[in-house]
């Protein structure tokens, strides 16, 4: 919010913090400044901070709806002209409906939009119920179900890359693509989230709300326009075409030592790792497996999408030439804020004979000089919600369908398998993806954009 305000994206606003903590406005300002100093990727101008800090107000939950309404009325009175309200519910699922009821009791539904944090429900029944209860207060067009992965420039760049380039659009289908990987390993542990994580697990925390959403962007048909409704409809068509998740196509893992974490059941069956194979039963993707993997305390923190192309016949190449020895050609997207992509292919070594090796062409946002223009994911999404743009947000239909295809897994989950912190997960992940191989770890790293020379 500080960056959006100080950069001029939001010309005027007032921010009211609400939580269980018994704070006042100065207490919120102290927390905000510490967070900005620790996490901001931009240098803090003291004049900007002074102006921003004046926009902050705080109401403890204990003060009730009347005090909240009074604070909002005072904030709106200080703004010239008509204003809109954006409610950001950064709360666990069990607190979502009480927060919505508080807003309703305070009379803060009109002229408002509400951002809902993940996970949205915990299964199909709870998601349907939550949507129904939400719609008693807010209309669907007022609700923004946030997924910060879709706020990244790299995720949106998939649409531009797919549909704006004649080289790739014709081959984005089952005739040319062998399989797809969406891989989001994390090195982080639980931190202070053991209570939340113990009740949620990796599948609910990451797959339904993040990885499936990325899958929707990768697999969707071309929308009629880049407006929110056509994009949401094409993504929902993908979700409608998804086959149910079979437990036999899933590996659940738990890192050694998880059960000793504070707040964790000593006999916990919660997964801290999950890898799965799923399919999309439509004309474009029938028969193409999608492999998804994510987990805590893994070897590296990465966020990649990798498409493996079908291999051509190798009969013309002599034995020992090296063709095919390092797997198929890949197109790889790195979903980091400073996005990168790589196209790998086989090329000939100079000299006599036919000896081939894997080469790659790489692009990084750093190469363009645009890196300073990149908004962080939450900055982009909050701004979109303020503008009423649903393009990068999940719909009620989409989220319910994803929980529906997850029912077999949630009802009969396979047992968790232990893996060592710092590894890539349980060994059975290699059986899941066979005869293919996981794209991570990379055999060669991304090229350093700051490196000089060849």
Q: Is 348 annotated as a binding residue?
A: no
Look up residue 231 and give its two tokens: 């994009």
* 172 Cβ contact list (under 8 Å, min separation 6): 162, 284
Question: In terms of residues, how long is the chain?
Answer: 454
Tokens (6 digits) for 29: 């300002």
Structure tokens at 216: 């929707």
Residues 168, 343: Cα–Cα separation, whole Å: 11
Q: Strand locations in 165-323, DSSP E?
A: 177-185, 250-255, 273-278, 290-295, 304-309
Considering 3, 179, 210, 330, which one is annotated as catalytic?
210
| 357 annotated to a ligand binding site | no
The annotation status of 205 as a binding-site residue, yes or no, is yes
Is position 123 annotated in a ligand binding site?
no
CA 142, 145, 147, 150 dihedral sign is negative
Q: Does the annotation place 148 within a ligand binding site? A: yes
Q: Active-site residue 210, yes or no?
A: yes
- Using the 8-state DSSP alphabet, how is residue 346 labeled? E
Instruction: Give dist(CA 336, CA 2) in Å, integer.
Output: 21
Cα 366 to its chain centre, rounded Å, is: 22
Give the position of tokens 């013309």.
Answer: 316
The CA angle 369-372-376, to the nearest 5 degrees, is 130
Do the annotations mark residue 277 as ligand-binding? Answer: no
Q: How many Å apart are CA 203 and CA 415, to the nearest integer?
A: 14
**3-class state of residue 231 by DSSP:** helix
Catalytic residues: 210
Q: Enumerate the known binding-site residues.
A: 118, 148, 152, 186, 205, 296
Please state the residue numbers annotated as binding site for NADP(+). Answer: 118
């Amino acid at each position: 919010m500080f960056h959006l305000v100080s950069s001029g994206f939001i010309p005027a606003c007032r921010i009211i913090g609400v939580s269980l903590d018994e704070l006042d406005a100065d207490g919120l300002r102290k927390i905000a400044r510490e967070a900005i100093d620790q996490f901001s990727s931009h240098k803090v101008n003291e004049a900007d901070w002074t102006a921003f800090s004046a926009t902050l107000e705080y109401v403890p939950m204990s003060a009730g709806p009347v005090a909240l309404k009074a604070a909002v009325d005072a904030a709106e009175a200080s703004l010239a002209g008509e204003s809109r309200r954006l409610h950001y519910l950064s709360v666990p699922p069990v607190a979502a409906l009480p927060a919505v009821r508080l807003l309703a009791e305070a009379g803060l539904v009109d002229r408002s939009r509400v951002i809902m944090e993940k996970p949205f429900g915990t299964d199909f029944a709870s998601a349907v119920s939550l949507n129904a209860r939400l719609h008693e207060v807010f209309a669907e067009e007022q609700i923004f179900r946030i997924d910060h992965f879709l706020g990244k420039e790299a995720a949106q760049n998939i649409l531009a890359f797919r549909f704006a380039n004649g080289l790739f659009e014709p081959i984005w289908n089952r005739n040319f693509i062998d399989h797809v990987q969406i891989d989001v390993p994390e090195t982080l542990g639980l931190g202070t989230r053991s209570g939340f994580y113990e009740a949620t697990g990796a599948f609910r925390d990451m797959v339904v709300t993040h990885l499936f959403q990325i899958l929707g962007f990768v697999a969707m048909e071309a929308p009629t326009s880049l407006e929110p409704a056509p994009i949401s409809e094409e993504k929902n068509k993908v979700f409608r075409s998804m086959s149910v998740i079979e437990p036999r196509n899933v590996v659940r893992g738990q890192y050694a030592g998880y059960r000793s974490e504070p707040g964790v059941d000593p006999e916990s069956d919660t997964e801290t790792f999950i890898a799965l194979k799923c399919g999309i039963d439509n004309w474009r993707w029938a028969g193409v497996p999608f492999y998804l993997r994510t987990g805590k305390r893994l070897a590296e923190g990465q966020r990649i999408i990798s498409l493996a192309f079908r291999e051509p016949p190798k009969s013309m190449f002599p034995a020992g030439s090296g063709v095919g020895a390092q797997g198929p050609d890949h197109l790889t997207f790195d979903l980091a804020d400073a996005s990168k992509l790589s196209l790998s292919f086989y090329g000939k070594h100079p000299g006599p004979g036919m000896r081939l090796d894997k080469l790659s062409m790489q692009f990084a946002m750093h190469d363009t000089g645009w890196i300073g223009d990149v908004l962080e994911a939450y900055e982009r999404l909050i701004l979109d919600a303020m503008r009423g743009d649903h393009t990068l947000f999940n719909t009620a239909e989409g989220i319910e369908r994803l929980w529906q295809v997850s029912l077999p897994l949630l009802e009969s989950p396979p047992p968790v398998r232990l893996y060592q912190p710092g590894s890539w997960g349980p060994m059975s992940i290699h059986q899941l993806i066979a005869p293919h191989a996981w794209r991570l770890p990379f055999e060669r790293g991304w090229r350093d954009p700051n490196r000089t020379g060849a």
